[in-house]
Amino acid sequence: MRAKTIVKNFGFEAEDEPVSIYPFSPVYRMIRPEGDFIVKKTQHPIEKANRLMRYTKTLNEQGVDVVIPSKIQAENPRTFGEETYVVYPFVQGVPYTGKEWEIKEAGRLLGRIHALSPTDNEYELDIYDVFDFTGEEVKESFQRIEQNAALHGIKMKPILEVRLLQAVRQQEELKQASLISVATPHDFKANNLIYTPQPYLIDPDNAGWIPRIFDLALVLLLFHNELASAPDRTFTKQQWHLFLSGYGESVDLSLEEKANWPKALEHVFLDEVMWLMADVEEDWQNQAQRSLFDSLTQLFLNFEEYNLT
């Protein structure tokens, strides 16, 4: 369905076809006399979207700065064909730039979100269950990574493939580990925060029931991904421990989580970073993204100092 039809069904005027403000997903900024709004795709079908909104509304009621559906005349969220959309308020603020206080405040926000999670999946969010990677999949992905890198004069280290294959072999052990899962947005990256001046979560739509340390591993690896104002590298060790210092004000990680952290970090690289480097060829054309990929590779091969203490 055309974007113009979607926004009109939410009550917005649109003479021309709206243009997404985000290159990887439909996100439309719409203006009305009472303020600015965001119309974006959310979880589908509508039952999943409503469970997500129940989760975020509860977080919001508990004092967490997270967007919740705007109160408008139309049903919100609502389904159009095979997709479901939601209208959020547009949050005024400034983007993340990598300042120390921004990092610590981001850690505090995620810590509060994790601490407020119920002990069971009462919101019926999607349960993380991606433990079916194969060695053949890794070999094919690594070959594509090598090809993408070679186009820019970069030679990938063979040890990266070795370590990814190691992650495949240990995924069943990780699946059976007694890891604590939480309700979490599971896309806690700088491009999904706006500072008002405190960090405000503006895209919670990937929320799920996730092993807690998997969510932390995603932060370490991809917090700076897809944001022009962020540094073109992963956290430094100092920045990572600054983030953890904010996070730790609300959460005490278990011994089991700390023991499984190296495996979790490798697994999340396998799940979230490998495909990014292999399949998103246009990212390699961006110098900042190539720098981030290089930083990610270096961290993955030398993550001993990026611990949870």
Dump pLDDT digits (tens) for 209-249.
Answer: 999 999 999 999 999 999 999 999 999 999 999 999 999 99
Comparing 12-21, 41-50, 65-74, 78-87, which segment has the lowest mean pLDDT?
A: 12-21
The CATH 3.30.200.20 domain(s) of the chain lie at 3-89
- CATH number 3.30.413.10 is the correct assignment for the domain at 3-89: no
The residue written with tokens 């690594």 in the block is: 142
Nearest residue to 144 via CA among 309, 303, 55, 274: 274
Q: C-alpha dihedral over 185, 190, 195, 200, to 10 degrees?
A: 0
Q: Residue 147: pLDDT above 80?
A: yes
Please report which confidence band the pLDDT of residue 15 belongs to, taking 50, 70 and 90 as the band edges: confident
Q: What is residue 305's predicted lDDT score, i.e. its pLDDT?
A: 87
Q: What is residue 149's predicted lDDT score, i.e. its pLDDT?
A: 96
Q: Please say whether the beta carbons of 207 and 275 come within 8 A.
A: no
Q: What is residue 228's predicted lDDT score, i.e. its pLDDT?
A: 94
Q: Please say whether the beta carbons of 286 and 227 come within 8 A.
A: no
**pTM for this model (two decimals):** 0.96
Q: Residue 26: pLDDT above 90?
A: yes
Q: Residue 288: pLDDT above 90?
A: yes
Give the architecture-level CATH label for domain 100-301: Alpha-Beta Complex (3.90)
Sort residue 98 into left (φ over 0), alpha (ψ -120 to 50) or beta: left
The CATH 3.90.1200.10 domain(s) of the chain lie at 100-301
Q: What is residue 24's predicted lDDT score, i.e. its pLDDT?
A: 82
Enumerate the H helices of 177-254 as residue ranges.
212-222, 237-247
Q: C-alpha dihedral over 189, 165, 182, 217, to 10 degrees?
A: -30
Q: Please say whether the beta carbons of 79 and 35 come within 8 A.
A: no
Please report which confidence band the pLDDT of residue 267 belongs to, taking 50, 70 and 90 as the band edges: very high
Q: How far apart are CA 165 and CA 269, in angstroms?
A: 12
pLDDT in tens, 38-75: 999 999 999 999 999 999 999 999 999 999 999 999 99
Q: What is residue 263's predicted lDDT score, i.e. its pLDDT?
A: 97
Q: What is residue 33's predicted lDDT score, i.e. its pLDDT?
A: 87
Q: What is residue 309's predicted lDDT score, i.e. its pLDDT?
A: 82
